Amino acid sequence: MDHEVMLPGFRFHPTDEELVGFYLKKKIQHRILPIELIKQVDIYKYDPWDLPNLAPSSEKEWYFYCPRDRKYKNSARPNRVTGAGFWKATGTDRPIYSSDGASKCIGLKKSLVFYRGRAAKGIKTDWMMHEFRLPTLVEPEPNKKVQDENLPPNVSQSPLQQVNFYLDKLILRIYV
C-alpha cells in the first residue's frame, strides 16, 4: 500500500478478535480488502529492526501476514530463526473468544520475544511479537476447495491439506 493512500488521522489498532475473526479469516478465504492494511511478508527472512520499513504504516506496532515455516518438513515445529537471531515463545497459546455472546474460541494468540544469537546463548532483546492463528478445529467451508497461492492454478487440495492451509497462515503484531 502506498503511504499517500492512508487517510489523515487514521490509526490501525485492531483488537485480537478483529485480527483473527476478520483480517485473518478474509486472507484465508482470499477475499481482498479495498485497502492493504496488513502486508504479506515472510518476516523470518528479516531481523525485527528491518520490519518497520516493510510495514504500510509508521505506527509503533507493525502487522504482517506471514506463512508458518516448519523447522522440519514433516514436523509441526515452527522455524522462527532469522539472520541475527530467533523468536522464542513465552508461555502457552491464549484463546481469543468471539464477543457475540457464544463464547466460541475463534483463534489463538502466542507471545514471542526476539533473541540475538543462537538458541543456547541468545541475548534477549526488547522486540516482542504476538502470533495470531486460527484454532486447529477450524474446518474449510463445505464443498469448497481452498486454492493455495503457492500451488499452480486449478490444482485443488485434499481435506487434510486444506486444514494445514488454515494452520499455516498467521497474522503477526510486532513491537518494541
| CATH code of 71's domain | 2.170.150.80
Residue 100 confidence (pLDDT): 86
Residue 1 confidence (pLDDT): 45
Residue 8 within any structural domain of the chain: yes
Residue 175 within any structural domain of the chain: no
Residue 26, domain extent? 3-138
Angle in degrees, CA 128, 122, 49, rounded to 5: 40
Residue 153 within any structural domain of the chain: no
Residue 127 within any structural domain of the chain: yes
Number of domains in the chain: 1
The upper half-sphere exposure of residue 111, i.e. CA atoms within 13 Å in the direction of its Cβ, equals 9
- Tens-place pLDDT, residues 35-69: 888 999 999 999 999 999 998 777 889 999 998 77
Q: What are residue 163's phi and psi, to 5 degrees?
A: -65, -45
Banded pLDDT at 159 (limits 50, 70, 90): very low
Q: What is the mean pLDDT of the chain?
A: 80
Which residues make beta-bridge pairs with 133?
Answer: 108
Residue 164 within any structural domain of the chain: no
Give the amino acid at 92.
Answer: T
Banded pLDDT at 11 (limits 50, 70, 90): confident
Give SS3 for 120. helix
pTM: 0.77
Give the amino acid at 20.
Answer: V
Residue 149 within any structural domain of the chain: no
